[in-house]
Structure 1
Amino acid sequence: MDEPLPIDTGTSAEGQVPLASENPVARVLIDHPVPHLARTFDYAVPEKLAEAALPGVRVRVKFAGRLRDGYLLERVDSSDHVGPLATIQRLSGPVQVLGPELLALCEATARRYGGTLADVLRLAIPPRHARGEKAVLKAAQTPAAQTPAAQSTAAQTDAGQTSAEETEAGPAGDGTDTGPEADLLGRLGEWVLSSETEPRQTDPAAAPPRRRALAATPGPTPGLSWIRAGLEAARATLEAGKSVLWLVPDHRELLVLQASLTAANLTDFSVLSADQSPEQRWQAWLRGLLGHTRMTIGTRAAAFAPLTELGLIICTDDANRSYLDQHAPYPHAREVSLLRSTIEDTELLFVSTDRSAEVQRLVEIGWLSDITPTGPARRHAAPVVFVPDEDRDPFAWQRIPSRAWQIMRTALRPRPRDGGVPGPVLVQVPRSGYYPVFACARCQEVARCPRCQETLTTQSEVGPFACRSCGYHSETFSCARCRSNQVRSIVRGRARTVEELRRALPDTEIVESGGDDITTVLDETPRLVVATTGAEPYVIGGYAAAILLDSLWPGPWMRSVDESVARRLRAAALVRSRDEGGTVYLGDEDEVIRSTLTAFDPATAMSRQLADRKVLGFPPYRRILELTGAGADIDAVLAELSEVGELDELLREEAEDGQRSVSAYPIAAGDRVGSRVAEITASRSAKKQPQVRVRIDDPRSL
């Protein structure tokens, strides 16, 4: 009987390359777009890279006949692979970019959203820029780099200031504003600081809440109360010797935050956003990783930004749609912040003018502490809100009723006996152009829902048409009065509104903001500011009044009322408080929007909505799984999720690229379902089966 051939289990490399004497095997995560290949493989560590090939560095390896990027996760003694191992070709820089905490956060995010670790790392770590990396490492070796002056210079460079080399080469091209708007931003930052009040008195024996939520009111700094609240929390953290991560939704908030931090003499910060050049972004990311800065501010791209001894995460306006990443696995910056706060045991502050459903649920279960002021303090810090009174005002049906004209004129030119201070007036319109909303073209009857008689909304003259009250949806329109299928516009956009205002107030300056021409900040000069939703400029001193016209309904979604309230609250929060004469005219007919703004209490309004959603089992009390693809493929994926017993299919409809299925499952099964979905996706990829797009907890799924 022949004896079995001996199997060599020792580690060897292809081509007999000398290996590292200790831990010669590297576990490398391949950065591959194919799901079943985006995993770890064993590679040999050549002797020449033994000292530099440390866990967390980027490497280049041969995979399927070509060089690919990867991350070295760990070094071990041996491999289960039989035969010689391919060797690591080279290192992509000397820096250990993937530390244990960042790896844990990315793994948790991948489980949360049913994606691959490689996909999350692609979002978390910017592409390497050799020249930028060399500059940061050189600065780290220079003693002067640690002085406050050098830190200030680094922060200004991150913020988009043009260096001498960039000046010689041409414009930086990063969108940095210079000139009059830069001066206004500086004044805005100084105004925020000059309006700061004494810190709130608290019980010294009681420890402050570590994770909290704040629904801000205009107060002494209309529109910028979130900066004042964030500064108070950030200063305490920095004084304790820890770092701060501050997230904002878009570049406008980033600009005003930079100006305020500079005015507050907090210059030791880096800016990280997708609008930066690859060099600037990589430099800012490295400064946080290497501990050269103690504060990083940025948009959703900064949610994964590394910081040494992170002590506080601030997330501003967490319900903003800009926080939802549009690349797989589609994580939301708010959820990444929650995961990171738990993993790294940090303080957390959510501050916004509205209140998201997710944050309110965490408040109600006690995970977050609500530090929002209530009662008289909140009412006095908010403007007075007027709503149309159809019974008493015979002209309330007009697009700009007589009451709105009166508020506008009083704010622009107050009478001496009233004692008011003149200021700009904001006129918020749904969108640019002329005609956003429709009625019957024949009889001019307002288009109403055949089920509940509420006003229908549409995106164009050819539909589709939908009802925001009951969810009715139709591709065609039929007038209930004359049966006509033709529609015409009855609500005008920004361009038409500006024409009407110029005819009525010819001597008044009018500034437009919207579309491709969005203004960030204006001074206190009395003028009319006509802005589309979301493009309202900040004003030094705040607006004297706001006229909120023609509500733009976000669409037939479960969160459409939430978004409408958020849009109105953001505009109203730019207006001075009632103690300073601030007034708002609200043109919406929706009772939820009216009641929320008149009381200026989004937390209570959201709490009432959550009570209904909890009974119905809607988010945020359940997780949502959206699958898009061929119907048979969706069924196959759902059939493999049998381990989640409470998975109920809620919705199945036709989509542009096949069918769309929306299902719900308990929050407690979140990581289990996410991991299982990722496994199913990888398995189908390995079998070359058609892929199904997976999105978990997309706000637009329902």
Structure 2
Amino acid sequence: MDEPLPIDTGTSAIGQVPLAPEDPVAQVLIDHPVPHLARAFDYAVPEKFAATARPGVRVRVKFAGKLRDGFLLERVEETEHIGPLATIERITSPVVVLTPELLRLGEATARRYAGTLSDVLRLAIPPRHARAEKAVLKAEKAASQDSVPSRRPKADVNAVGDSAADDSADTIERLGDWIVGQAPADESDPFPAAEHPRVALTCVPGSTPGLSWITAGLTAARATLAAGESVLWLVPDHRELAVLSAALDASTDLPAYSVLSADQSPEQRWTAWLHGLLGRTRVTIGTRAAAFAPIRGLGLIICFDDSNSNYLDQHAPYPHAREVCLLRSTIESTGLLFVSTDRSAEIQRLVEIGWLRESSPTGPDRREGAPRVFVPDEERDPFARQRIPSRAWQLMRAALRPGPKDTNALGPVLVQVPRSGYYPVFACARCQEVARCPRCSATLTTQSEVGPFACRACGYHSDSFSCGRCRSNQVRSIVRGRGRTVEELRRALPGIEILESGGDDIPVAIDDSPRLVVATTGAEPYALGGYACAVLLDSLWPGPWMRSTDEGVSRRLRAAVLVRPRTAGGVVYLGDDDETIRTTVTTFDPVTTMSRSLRDRRELGFPPYRRIVELTGAGADIDSVLTAVPELSELIRDDDGDDQKAVAAYPISAGDSVGEQLTHLSASRSAKKLPQVRIRIDDPQSL
């Protein structure tokens, strides 16, 4: 009887390519959009790459007959694959971009949001730019003997996109000098870096209206830097990035810093990313993607305005920068400072369970640092129900052309309107019925009293209007837009300069000269020295969702905090009917408002006391997902044409388990070529 032939279990490569003498097998994470293929595969390490094929480098490998990018995760001695392995075709760069800390953060984020590691790393690591990398590595080699990195030129630091180089650049620079110059000289240090505290702070205007978040952040950053650690500072958009850069420029005692933003060119972004990776800068500022930025010796993460919608990434797996900061702080044992003008439900829950420490101003400090707030008084003022009541006109005129008896100081006046346009929402003048599209029943909009009338939902367009209820052709405004407001103000206040802000034209900052600034919600420019007065028109109604009141409070506070404190004559006229918004803005106490709101959410089991997942797809496919994950409890389901949308909840304690189950389920359905169900976890607008 013949003996069986011996089985050769040694590692070999296709084409008999000589392999690295040690650890010849590389586990490579393929950058692939298909869920079941976005995982690690074994590849052989050619002998020529024995020294450069290090864990964390970018590589190019052949996959399904095509060259694909990937990350080398680990090198091992053996493989479980039977037969020769394909080899690594190229080492894209010798730089280890996927550090162990970033790998752990990417894996944690993928579990948190039921995504793939490849999807997370696509958001976390910018595309490589060869020329920028070559320049940085050359400078790094030349400066290898320097123990302290030199401060970067101001022109490089301010390369945050076109917005920082516009006509208001000089005003932004003056704004930075003013922020640093107005900071209290006896500013205490509530953020000792050695303890790595986790702090939540809400702001009032104080000595730097609208920008006290920067002075608070600078205090924390200085303490962290003095302890020899680094700082990561996140802001929601390019405007905050511009004024923060200006303040850091004016703070001559701070070291070099890097800027990371989607507005940068690929070369600028990759340069800044490498500066953080190589430890050339100790302060990194940026927008949401900077939450993943590699930083040596990270000691503190500062996040401003965490409830801002810009922090929610619209690419899979749809992570929120606030949650990435929380995960990173836990993984890397860093300090945290959440500073904002409002208070999000997620941060307040962490304060109440003791994970974050409350450091907001007390009652007397809030009252002294906030402006005086007026609300309509229907009983005493017969004109209180007008869109711009007589009291609001008085406050505006007193700030623009003060008389001898006016106590508030001369300065710019902010007029906040909910929307742009002329009549963004209007109704029939006879029966008061809201004007709706005859095709799809969505609300109609118009640019003037006589049309044209259009529907943004289905594209319907008409030169005339006819009420579906009473057939009247006359219309009246429910919510006037920015265009109509400017028209009214120009007639009532001739000779006063009016600046519009909204849409694609949003100034970052203005000087302190008296003028009217008419801005849509979220487009309010910063004012040097703060606004003398703000008139917040109409009632805000962000939408029919659970957090609509939270959003209304946030939008009003973001505008009101731009006004000078009452000690400097600052006043606000608030046109809202909602009692919660009125109380919060009048007292400048969003913490108490959110604490009361959380009591109801806790009893009802609503977020943030449970996590939610939104599933979009065919009804049968959604049912199969819900059946496969027993922790999910379906809350609501809506039909959306051919697809359905279901929202389910699950306990926070089951977060990682549910995330992993959903990830494996998506990969399994992908491998079986079954229709995918889109998964979004903790989208604020799901409920």
**TM-score bucket of the superposed structures, by smaller chain:** over 0.9
Contact kept, 8 Å, 1:430 with 1:436, in 2: the verdict is no
Instruction: Map 1:20-35 onto structure 2 (within 5 A).
Output: 20-35=20-35
Corresponding residue to 1:282 among 263, 270, 279:
270
Q: Deviations over 1:616-642 (max 9, x none)?
A: 100000000100011111111111112
CA apart distance, 1:142: 1.3
Match of 1:296 in 2: 284
With structure 2 as the length reference, what TM-score do the two structures score? 0.93
Contact kept, 8 Å, 1:423 with 1:524, in 2: the verdict is yes
CA distance in structure 1 between the aligned counterparts of 2:262 and 2:456, rounded to whole angstroms: 34
Contact kept, 8 Å, 1:625 with 1:694, in 2: the verdict is yes
CA distance in structure 1 between the aligned counterparts of 2:427 and 2:650, rounded to whole angstroms: 41
CA apart distance, 1:438: 2.9
CA distance in structure 2 between the aligned counterparts of 1:652 and 1:204, rounded to whole angstroms: 45
SS at match of 1:128: coil
SS at match of 1:315: strand
Corresponding residue to 1:359 among 344, 347, 351:
347
1:85 aligns with 2:73: no
Corresponding residue to 1:517 among 491, 497, 505:
505
Q: 1:527 to 1:212 in 2, by over 3 A?
A: same
CA apart distance, 1:430: 1.0
Match of 2:63 in 1: 63
SS at match of 1:308: coil
CA distance in structure 2 between the aligned counterparts of 1:297 and 1:615, rounded to whole angstroms: 39
Contact kept, 8 Å, 1:113 with 1:330, in 2: the verdict is yes
Q: Deviations over 1:111-163 (max 9, x none)?
A: 0000000000000000111001001001101139958784322x6424318xx
Match of 1:680 in 2: 665
SS at match of 1:152: coil
Match of 1:177 in 2: 164
1:345 aligns with 2:322: no
Match of 2:321 in 1: 333
CA distance in structure 1 between the aligned counterparts of 2:609 and 2:593, rounded to whole angstroms: 17
Q: 1:139 to 1:497 in 2, by over 3 A?
A: same
Q: CA RMSD in A?
A: 2.5
Residue 210 of structure 1 aligns with an amino acid whose one-letter code is P
CA distance in structure 2 between the aligned counterparts of 1:340 and 1:80, rounded to whole angstroms: 33
Instruction: Map 1:663-702 onto structure 2 (within 5 A).
Output: 663-702=648-687
Q: 1:47 to 1:486 in 2, by over 3 A?
A: farther
Residue 217 of structure 2 aligns with an amino acid whose one-letter code is G
SS at match of 1:151: coil
CA distance in structure 2 between the aligned counterparts of 1:257 and 1:517, rounded to whole angstroms: 20
Contact kept, 8 Å, 1:113 with 1:695, in 2: the verdict is yes
CA distance in structure 1 between the aligned counterparts of 2:90 and 2:643, rounded to whole angstroms: 43
Q: 1:656 to 1:446 in 2, by over 3 A?
A: closer
Kindly, what percent of the aligned residue pairs are identical? Answer: 70
Match of 2:461 in 1: none
CA apart distance, 1:295: 0.8
CA apart distance, 1:437: 2.7
Match of 1:471 in 2: none
1:506 aligns with 2:506: no
Instruction: Map 1:255-654 onto structure 2 (within 5 A).
Output: 255-265=242-252, 266-444=254-432, 458=443, 460=445, 488-642=476-630, 644=631, 647-654=632-639
CA apart distance, 1:275: 0.8
CA apart distance, 1:202: 7.1
CA apart distance, 1:374: 1.3
Q: Deviations over 1:379-408 (max 9, x none)?
A: 111111111011111001111000000010
CA distance in structure 2 between the aligned counterparts of 1:457 and 1:405, rounded to whole angstroms: 34
Q: Deviations over 1:666-695 (max 9, x none)?
A: 000000000000000000000000001000
1:97 aligns with 2:104: no
CA apart distance, 1:423: 0.4
Match of 1:8 in 2: 8
Match of 1:114 in 2: 114
Q: 1:255 to 1:283 in 2, by over 3 A?
A: same
CA distance in structure 2 between the aligned counterparts of 1:403 and 1:510, rounded to whole angstroms: 20
Contact kept, 8 Å, 1:145 with 1:151, in 2: the verdict is no
CA apart distance, 1:183: 0.9
SS at match of 1:319: coil
Residue 42 of structure 1 aligns with an amino acid whose one-letter code is D
Contact kept, 8 Å, 2:196 with 2:333, in 1: the verdict is no
Contact kept, 8 Å, 2:189 with 2:219, in 1: the verdict is no
CA apart distance, 1:524: 0.4
1:44 aligns with 2:44: yes
Stretch deviating more after TM superposition (550-559 or 404-413)? 550-559
Instruction: Map 1:156-171 onto structure 2 (within 5 A).
Output: 156-160=155-159
Match of 1:171 in 2: none
CA apart distance, 1:24: 0.5
CA distance in structure 1 between the aligned counterparts of 2:537 and 2:395, rounded to whole angstroms: 13
Count of paired positions: 667
CA distance in structure 1 between the aligned counterparts of 2:302 and 2:132, rounded to whole angstroms: 27
Q: 1:441 to 1:331 in 2, by over 3 A?
A: same
Q: 1:27 to 1:599 in 2, by over 3 A?
A: same
CA distance in structure 2 between the aligned counterparts of 1:333 and 1:611, rounded to whole angstroms: 26
CA apart distance, 1:415: 2.5
SS at match of 1:512: strand
Q: Deviations over 1:208-260 (max 9, x none)?
A: 67000001000010000100000000011111111100000000000000000
Corresponding residue to 1:246 among 217, 225, 233:
233
CA distance in structure 1 between the aligned counterparts of 2:190 and 2:617, rounded to whole angstroms: 57
Contact kept, 8 Å, 1:261 with 1:267, in 2: the verdict is no
Match of 1:76 in 2: 76
Q: 1:16 to 1:585 in 2, by over 3 A?
A: same
Q: 1:183 to 1:462 in 2, by over 3 A?
A: closer
Contact kept, 8 Å, 1:144 with 1:150, in 2: the verdict is no
Contact kept, 8 Å, 2:192 with 2:223, in 1: the verdict is no
CA apart distance, 1:418: 3.9
Contact kept, 8 Å, 2:150 with 2:256, in 1: the verdict is no
CA apart distance, 1:490: 3.0
Stretch deviating more after TM superposition (523-532 or 547-556)? 547-556
Match of 2:449 in 1: none
Match of 2:643 in 1: 658
SS at match of 2:54: coil
Residue 123 of structure 1 aligns with an amino acid whose one-letter code is L
Unpaired stretches in structure 1, ≥5 consecutive residues: 162-173, 449-455, 466-476
Q: 1:289 to 1:630 in 2, by over 3 A?
A: same
Residue 280 of structure 2 aligns with an amino acid whose one-letter code is H
CA distance in structure 2 between the aligned counterparts of 1:530 and 1:580, rounded to whole angstroms: 22
Contact kept, 8 Å, 2:198 with 2:335, in 1: the verdict is yes
CA apart distance, 1:539: 0.4
Residue 349 of structure 2 aligns with an amino acid whose one-letter code is R
CA apart distance, 1:177: 3.4
Contact kept, 8 Å, 1:586 with 1:594, in 2: the verdict is yes
CA distance in structure 2 between the aligned counterparts of 1:97 and 1:204, rounded to whole angstroms: 31
SS at match of 1:355: coil
Match of 2:448 in 1: none
Q: 1:623 to 1:182 in 2, by over 3 A?
A: same
Q: 1:392 to 1:202 in 2, by over 3 A?
A: same
SS at match of 1:94: coil
Match of 2:463 in 1: none
CA distance in structure 2 between the aligned counterparts of 1:627 and 1:538, rounded to whole angstroms: 40
Stretch deviating more after TM superposition (100-109 or 411-420)? 411-420
